[in-house]
Structures are given as C-alpha cells and as structure tokens.
Amino acid sequence: MRKNILFLCVVFLFTTINAQIADKNEYLATFVSELNKQWPNNKTQNLVFHGHSVPTGYYTAAIGVKTFDSYPFYTLKALKDQYNYAVINCIITSIGGENSKKGAARFESEVLNHKPDVVFIDYSLNDRSIGLEEAKIAWISMIEAALQKNIKVILCTPTPDTREDILSDSSPLKAHADQVKSLAEKYKIGLVDSYALFKKIAQDGGKIKEYMSQGNHPNELGHRIVADEILTWFQTDQKTTHQIK
C-alpha cells in the first residue's frame, strides 16, 4: 500500500513538473532565424490565425470589421517593423460566430492547406455554446493535426466578455481559459494567455470596458494587449521586447 501511494506521488510530481508550455526563448527560434535572412536566402513565412470573430477583426455592428486594427495585423506590422527583410504572410482563416468544433471540421482543408509555419487558435468565447468536452476534442484535433506536420502551434485563451465577471473563479470563460492553458501544457506548445492579461488589468483597478468595442469584441487597445503578448514569442532574447507603435 505504501509503495503504491509513493508511486502515485512520484507520478503526480513528475506530471506537474513537466506540465508546462513551450520555452519562449526556443519555441520559435528557427522561425525567427528565417526572419533575419535576406534575399536570396530567405523564404516566405506564413502565420495563420484561426478562430472566431475576434481574430477576424469584428468590432460592433455599426463599425464593422476592422481587419487592420485586429491583433493578427498588429502582430504583422510589428514584426515587419522589426525584421525589415522578412517576407511574412498574415493569413486569416477565422470566421465570426464559429466555434472550435466547426473550426476543426475545416482545419485540414482551410488552414493546413496554407502550409503555415505558425498557427494561432482562438475559439473560447464561442466554445461556451458547445461546452468544455466538445471544445477539448476539437482543440486536440487541431493541435495534433498541426503537430503531425511539424507546424508550431500557439493557443490563445479568450479575450473578455463584459457580461461575465472576469474576477470570478466560477465564470464559464475562466473554465475554458483553464482548459486551453492545460492543453498548451500537455502538448508543450505556445500560449497567449489573453484572459490572464485582462484579468490582471481588472485586479489592478482598470476598467475592462475601456478595452472593448462591445461586450465581447476588443477595441484597438484590447487587440494591442493580445498582439503585444504574441510578440513575446518572437523574441529569442527575452531581455528585450518590441511594443507595437
């Protein structure tokens, strides 16, 4: 009995120690090295952003879709400011209103067909409609399909929905954010923890509404929060960071 308990404790500790996301200094190091190359030694790099209305750039019904004021294109702009000779495609495969189950169904034909170097996945806001279990199956399907082709994957936890209390530990979005984080740890891939960033703003007394164009869509400030965190994955030296202008 004692031996069994000891064995279980060792397994638990081993799992806990090894449950961590990819190393920011190493995960995209090969990608970044390509960004530093000049013609004719460089090659086109493809960033694919897959998800729902947020990476698509939806703001409000009155404003419409602000493609160039969304975190994918803020990311592209900042990378091009930093890597003058890089050839980078920013490819949006996200669809407003879609959940991860539908996104997984078209992952092979509409995401992997672009031959991405890095794939970002952001679905949790809409995954509340299908629940944690179905969402988990869908996210795993996409993660494993990308990894089988040696594509780097970075998962995004949700941006806020002002109809929920971001400081509540029992909010549906927090449950989905926790699940996304656990998947990043399980597969040792990248994570952009948007939910934690906005939660910290609220904990520090900031007003989440100031970062939102409507209840569940970020505005320019909100998108920049996400993009700045994405950019930390493209820094091989974490002593320096590149803020979006």
> In CATH, what number is assigned to the domain containing residue 52?
3.40.50.1110
The pLDDT value recorded for residue 7 is 43
Average pLDDT over every residue of 222-230: 98
Q: Is residue 10 part of a domain?
A: no
Number of domains in the chain: 1
The parent domain of residue 135 ranges over: 22-234
Q: Is residue 8 part of a domain?
A: no
Average pLDDT over every residue of 221-245: 77
Q: Is residue 199 part of a domain?
A: yes
Q: Is residue 1 part of a domain?
A: no
The pLDDT value recorded for residue 235 is 84
Q: Is residue 14 part of a domain?
A: no
Q: Is residue 32 part of a domain?
A: yes
Whether residue 82 has pLDDT greater than 50: yes
Q: Is residue 2 part of a domain?
A: no
Whether residue 22 has pLDDT greater than 70: yes
- Evaluate whether 198 touches 225 at the Cβ level (below 8 Å): yes
Q: Is residue 241 part of a domain?
A: no
The pLDDT value recorded for residue 238 is 39
